[in-house]
Amino acid sequence: MATAASTELTNHGSAAICRGCWDQMRVPIPIRGPLSLPFRAFGITQSKMNPNICTICERSFRYVKKQRHITASATILFADIRGFTALSERIEAVRLSEIVSLFQDQCAQAIWAHDGIVNKQMGDGLMAIFNFPIATKDHASAAVMAALDIQRHCAEALAGLDATLGGMPGRTLGVGVGIHSGDVEIGEFSSFRSDFTAIGGAVNLAARLESQAAAGEILVSPETAAQASGLTIGAETRLLVLKGIEQPVQARVLAKI
Ligand SMILES: [Zn+2]
């Protein structure tokens, strides 16, 4: 149970202390303001995964959890730019990097606004985790709200770019999103990377859903939809046979507003 003081410290859009270290260890690590300066001198700064967590919880997973990996309940979100590969054959590299950074920026803002972290960025795609290391009670809804923000903000930003791409066939750019909630393994799984990630069947399902999402669509697994029922009720359902997943999945389809 958080005290009134800790709630005050952690309950803001931009927290004074690391919300990851607080939620996982109940240790207050200053990441903003004068108290953060001595920590910065030791290389402890805001994480690029989310500015409200620090580089300790990003890179010292074993120190934070005292284990190499843990099983955690989380919601995983994948997003990517649909049609990017085809586009990359037609336009110059400088424009491509403009599109990618616009997409990554819009996604990160939406994910951070709902306390998720951008765990991996893969060019025209990304993977986000909700409920670790920032504990989020309704992480399924947080992820769905982030996805709706991603679709809204990317549609506006990409439409502006579309206009300047001028007259190219198939130039309409859009984003596809897949979301699934379940138990994942979180930890450091690579000997040459020091930051944590999530692996497991639940991560694969989120990735597979994203691969089936058309531009402007958010495909939500039944597990996420049940937990975020207020946001998914009445949404179209679509039965999907997904590569590597034994049973067909009855996904909910949320389209951009
Ligand atoms: Zn931290």
Domains along the chain with CATH numbers: 4-59 (no CATH), 70-254 (3.30.70.1230)
Give 12's pLDDT tier (boundaries 50, 70, 90): very low
pTM of the model: 0.91
Cis ω on the peptide bond leading into residue 28 (within 30° of 0)?
A: no
Above 60 in pLDDT, residue 49?
Answer: yes
Above 90 in pLDDT, residue 43?
Answer: yes
Cα of 250 vs centre of ligand 1, distance in Å, is 37
Cα of 52 vs centre of ligand 1, distance in Å, is 8
Residue 50 is predicted with a pLDDT of 97
Above 90 in pLDDT, residue 138?
Answer: yes
Residue 5 is predicted with a pLDDT of 42
Cα of 131 vs centre of ligand 1, distance in Å, is 14
Torsion of CA 29, 30, 31, 33, to 10 degrees: 180
Cα of 149 vs centre of ligand 1, distance in Å, is 26
Which amino acid is it at 154? C
Q: What whole-number distance in Å separates Cα of residue 174 and Cα of residue 158?
A: 7
Mean of the pLDDT values across residues 62-71?
92
pLDDT digits (tens, 9 = 90+) for 178-236: 999 999 999 999 888 789 999 999 999 999 999 999 999 999 999 999 999 999 998 99
Above 50 in pLDDT, residue 3?
Answer: no
Cα of 98 vs centre of ligand 1, distance in Å, is 31
